[in-house]
Amino acid sequence: MFRFKKYVLLFVLAATLLAACGGAKAPAEEASCAPNCKYTDMTLCYPQLGAESDWRTANTASFKETAGEYGVRLIFSDAQQKQENQISAMRACIQQEVDVIGLPPVVEDGWDAVLTEAKNAGIPVIIVDRSVSADESLYAAHIGSDMKLEGERAAEEFNKQFPNGAKVLELSGTTGSGAAVGRAEGFRAKLNPNIEIIDSQTGNFTRAEALPVMQAFLQKYKPGVDFQGIFIHNDDMGIGAIEALKAAGVQPGDLFIVSVDGTRGGFQAMVDGWFQADVECNPLLGPQVLEMGLKLMNGETIEREVLTNETVYYPDNAADLLPSRKY
Ligand code: AHR
């Protein structure tokens, strides 16, 4: 009787473990062409999060151009900044048994279920650009920018400009996105205590949404009196904000404005005197992601976290650099 109970217990334990694994194939299996897979063997799924900014347009172009050049079959979709669309696109790719998924997540939370489905199907997922809060065991790697460092770099610009303190506004990116969360955190971590963030609102990383947010700020706070500077989480929102500032009679240089991305639009804003610094965020991630995808297909070891090496751009050489900017 005791023996029987022991076997029942063992069976239950084994069944529970199997259920927890979803009766799955081994995660991130190497492809059948391994170890000699070539780019022309690869189908890459890229459920792009949207087309909200010039940065995003450049990121999309980087994937399309690189896939074309390398002979990779690319399954591309545009989720229009909606997480549910990205999840549906990923599920369609899992059904099509793609080799690799590159996921630029619109927000950090809510990916566990679909990442588990990809893992159970043996499809490696590379998180691209923004981060996810899901457990690391659910995806192969992350390739993108250090968003917290970008926020810290922006704070350092304000610290240099206002050693005696100031009041600033923050125009933040998409709520809950790795880019907005990281930049806000880094900014607060490095900002001198004598610099106060008097208000922070989201402009969802778009020009169209940043414009009314800046207009509302200008109704509430007098530029140069109530605040001396603005930290803006991307160049597109910066361009939207400039429209509102111009309409309110603010002149370039009246406020100290630091933006993020380093797009051509951001460089133009520096040339025109509106931005005093632009923290780089590089969207040209296609080659790195495809290279890592091939390594995963061939069962090679990869680095789990690949952060882009970036810098800060300033107005003094913006006019010289502008013609050679790729995005
Ligand atoms: O995640 C990267 C951010 O998303 C870029 O700063 C912004 O321009 C884009 O929309």
223-251 pLDDT per residue, tens: 999 999 999 999 999 999 999 999 999 99
Higher pLDDT, 130 or 28: 130
In a shared domain, residues 49 and 128: yes
Count of positions (residues) in the chain: 327
Tell which residue, 54, 306, 240, 256, has the closest CA to residue 155. Answer: 256
In a shared domain, residues 154 and 82: no
- Which pLDDT tens digit goes with each residue over 63-108? 999 999 999 999 999 999 999 999 999 999 999 999 999 999 999 9
Q: Which domain holds residue 194?
A: 147-281
Tell which residue, 93, 106, 117, 111, has the closest CA to residue 42. Answer: 93
Mean pLDDT in residue range 43-47: 98
Tell which one of 48, 52, 53 to mutate to probe ligand 1, the residue whose CB is within 8 A of the most ligand atoms.
Answer: 53
**Mean of the per-residue pLDDT values of the chain:** 93
Mean pLDDT in residue range 107-126: 98
Higher pLDDT, 4 or 111: 111
Name the closest-CA residue to atom 3, ligand 1.
Answer: 179
Q: How far is CA 68 from the centre of its chain?
A: 23
In a shared domain, residues 202 and 277: yes
Residue 79 lies in a domain: yes
Rg (CA), the chain: 23
Q: Quick one: what percent of the chain has pLDDT higher than 70?
A: 91
Q: How far is the CA of 251 from the centre of ligand 1 (A)?
A: 26
Distance in angstroms between the alpha carbons of the first and the last residue of the chain:
73
Residue 241 lies in a domain: yes
Tell which residue, 105, 262, 88, has the closest CA to residue 177. Answer: 105
Separation CA 221–CA 199 (nearest Å) = 10
In a shared domain, residues 165 and 230: yes
Tell which one of 48, 60, 129, 239 to mutate to probe ligand 1, the residue whose CB is within 8 A of the most ligand atoms.
Answer: 129
pLDDT of residue 25: 38
Per-residue pLDDT at 57 exceeds 60: yes
- Which pLDDT tens digit goes with each residue over 172-201? 999 999 999 999 999 999 999 999 999 999
State the pTM of this model.
Answer: 0.91
Dihedral (CA of 277, 278, 280, 284) sign: negative
Strands of the sheet containing 195-202, edge to edge, are: 195-202, 166-172, 229-232, 256-261, 277-280, 312-313
In a shared domain, residues 184 and 266: yes
Residue burial 103-138, b: 16+ Cβ < 10 Å; e: rest: bbbbbbebbeebbbbbbbbbbbbbbbbbbbebeeeb
Tokens 């199907």 sit at which residue? Answer: 121
Mean pLDDT in residue range 296-300: 98
189, 220 Cβ separation under 8 angstroms: no
Domain count, the chain: 2
Residue 313 lies in a domain: no
Q: How far is the CA of 30 from the centre of ligand 1 (A)?
A: 32
pLDDT of residue 21: 38
Residue 323 lies in a domain: no
| Ranges of H-type helices in the chain | 2-20, 54-70, 83-95, 112-120, 147-161, 178-190, 207-220, 235-247, 264-271, 286-297, 318-321
Give yes or no for residue 153 CB within 6 A of ligand 1. no
Retrieve residue 77's tokens.
Answer: 């979709």
Residue 298 lies in a domain: yes
Separation CA 294–CA 325 (nearest Å) = 29
In a shared domain, residues 75 and 191: no
In a shared domain, residues 95 and 195: no
Q: Quick one: what percent of the chain has pLDDT higher than 90?
A: 91
pLDDT of residue 28: 57
Higher pLDDT, 231 or 16: 231
pLDDT of residue 50: 98
Mean pLDDT in residue range 126-136: 98
Count other Cβ atoms within 10 Å, centred on residue 236: 29
Residue 200 lies in a domain: yes
The domain that contains 103 carries what CATH number?
3.40.50.2300
Could you tell me the pLDDT band of residue 7, with boundaries at 50, 70 and 90? very low
Tell which residue, 252, 256, 261, 307, has the closest CA to residue 282. Answer: 261
Per-residue pLDDT at 26 exceeds 80: no
pLDDT of residue 30: 83
- Which pLDDT tens digit goes with each residue over 144-165? 999 999 999 999 999 999 999 9
